[in-house]
Amino acid sequence: MKGKAIAWWTATALLALELLVGAFWDISRSHLAVEILTRLGYPLYVLAILGTWKLLAIPALLVPGHPRLREWAYAGIFFLTTGAIASHAICGDGKGLIPPLIFFFLAAASWLLGPGSDARTASATAAARA
């Protein structure tokens, strides 16, 4: 059980760090963020929206005692990453697929290893048997 907790904290800390860096890039309209959004065809005001939501996701992931809020944060992260993956794929930006894919799998690891994962596993097993 201790190894699972260490794995969760590692994945979640890396996820939170990525969210923090991404939020800073988005809100500050860094050259890289502007370049990526322009290449994908999105308007630049999307950066402020994404950056704000990324910042709000960090405490939602890390603060204990709010499982529903944490689940919503994970849902938002999955929408963000799968949207980024689809956007890069549709635009033919193969190299651009790698960062959101890594971010997606990091978020999946955090979610699967996190508090409540045993209940999710039991629920999925019960649903599979039905």
Residue owning tokens 């904290």: 9
**In a domain? residue 129:** no
The rounded distance, in Å, linking the Cα atoms of 77 and 12 is 12
Q: What total number of domains does the chain contain?
A: 1
- Report the interhelical angle of 2-27 vs 31-40 (nearest 10°): 90
Residue 16 amino acid letter:
A
> Does residue 125 sit within a domain?
no
Question: Domain for residue 115, yes or no?
Answer: yes
- In-domain check, residue 126: no
Whether 130 is in a domain gets the answer no
Residue partners of 8: CB distance under 8 A and separation at least 6: 110, 113, 114, 115
Residue 30, in any domain of the structure: yes
Instruction: Tell me the residue range of the domain where 82 lies.
Output: 2-120
Tell me the pLDDT tens digit for each residue of 64-99: 889 999 999 999 999 999 999 999 999 998 889 999
Residue-by-residue pLDDT tens, the chain, 130 positions: 688 889 999 999 999 999 999 999 999 999 999 999 999 999 999 999 999 999 999 999 999 889 999 999 999 999 999 999 999 999 998 889 999 999 999 999 999 998 776 555 555 555 566 6
CB 47: neighbour CB atoms within 10 A? 21
In a domain, 33, yes or no: yes
